[in-house]
Amino acid sequence: MPEYAGRLTRARDAMDRGGIDLLYLAPGANAQYLTGWRRNRPHFGNVNYPGGWIQGVFVGLRHGPILAVPRMVAEFDLDPQTSTSLDVRILPDGGDPAEFLEGVLREFEPRLGAIAIENRAWSEQAIALRTIRPDAEVRLASEVIAPLRMVKDADELRTMQTAADIVDRAMADIIDFLDPDSGQTELDVAYEIDRLMVKHGADGSSFVTNAWQMGPGEERPLAMKASRRPLERGNSLSFDFGSSLDGYCYDFGRSVYLGEPPDEYRRVHALVMQAAQVGIEALQDDQRTAEEVDALARQVIVAGGYGEHFRHRLGHGIGLDVHEPPYLDRGDTRRLVRGMCFTIEPSVFITGKFGARTEDVVVVG
């Protein structure tokens, strides 16, 4: 069970050091991390209610957390644990959200010199805040929350390990499901992966599941996702998917060959796996920066003659979001410490030939 009181204490200490008087967190990973307010499952489209932009958690140096939501959200979307563990303020139907926000802010006076808001808050939220408190300095909540979330505690690691186990079982099952040259499509495979993850205990997928082929002579764009294209022997099939569990995310990748792989594919696949192993072994406490780990693994593929086909960063932090800082990429000079979690995901994608990738989540040791 996450220890939210300790997280709040650490956040308030960071606020005090940084001269921040109030956090205003929109629905999302930061609010869940700090208070346990769970997000809804990801979905397409914009489901909203009048005054919906008011939704958020307010955390002061000594007051709060206060959760502000419209009446429809309070009645239909809040789980019982959230509604009983937080101080919930409800915007009534027909209520003025700006006046409501002003009333909430008054509870945190007299000190409201600097307010840190969610990095991806709605513009309505940010504009209303500036209108009501024009003299307040507006900062980003990531100044406070991001450093705390980078290092996972034992509860977080247990949840992510369970999410990893779910993905491993789904991958083992999907290999038996594959039936090339039968009319089975990439989308058939992607939807079966989603079904298997839920069957094995996931809340759902952590992002849109992808399974795509690359084959000889075709000019398929790398941006193309799982489609109605039938599986065909002689193609590589790459996977990118992850499970979500209690708000935490997993991210996973593999490539297989549909049929007997040619010698070059075997060599490239082995090269990708070697680069992954180098990256994994480099994740040691206080030994390297994020960009140094990227460079070490990348050099394996460069030395093998395929550097131009390793087209992305080595990996990224992961936790309540699929992509979190730090990033194993050029330019990220943050030093890695024990408890950080990263994907290690080298690849070689050659348009008109094949693709080979692997991806696992690794904890800095």
- Residue 304 structure tokens: 């093998």
Average pLDDT of the chain is: 94
| Single pTM value for the model | 0.94
How far apart CA 249 and CA 243 sit, in angstroms, is 6
Domains in the chain, CATH or no CATH each: 4-149 (3.40.350.10), 154-363 (3.90.230.10)
- pLDDT value at residue 124: 92
Comparing C-alpha atoms, which of 101, 103, 99 is closest to residue 126?
101
The mean pLDDT of 323-344, rounded to a whole number, is 98
- pLDDT value at residue 320: 97
Residue 242 CB neighbour total at 10 angstroms: 26
- pLDDT value at residue 221: 81
Range scoring the smallest mean pLDDT among 197-206, 220-229, 262-271, 321-330: 220-229
One-letter amino acid identity for 218? E
Comparing C-alpha atoms, which of 315, 311, 359 is closest to residue 336?
315
- 98 has pLDDT over 90: yes
For 150, phi then psi, to 5°, come to -65, -35
The H helix count followed by the E strand count for the chain is 11, 18
What proportion of the chain, given as a percentage, has pLDDT over 70?
A: 99
pLDDT in tens, 252-310: 999 999 999 999 999 999 999 999 999 999 999 999 999 999 999 999 999 999 999 99
pLDDT in tens, 157-193: 999 999 999 999 999 999 999 999 999 999 999 999 9
In this prediction, residue 109 has a pLDDT band, given cuts at 50, 70 and 90, of: confident
pLDDT in tens, 132-164: 999 999 999 999 999 999 999 999 999 999 999
CA atoms lying within 13 Å on the CB side of residue 207: 18
Concatenating the DSSP letter of every residue in 6-29 gives HHHHHHHHHHHHHT--EEEE-SSH
- pLDDT value at residue 231: 97
pLDDT in tens, 21-63: 999 999 999 999 999 998 877 777 777 888 999 999 999 999 9
Distances in Å between the alpha carbon of 151 and those of 80, 243, 275?
Answer: 29, 20, 24
CA atoms lying within 13 Å on the CB side of residue 248: 24
How far apart CA 113 and CA 96 sit, in angstroms, is 24
- pLDDT value at residue 289: 98
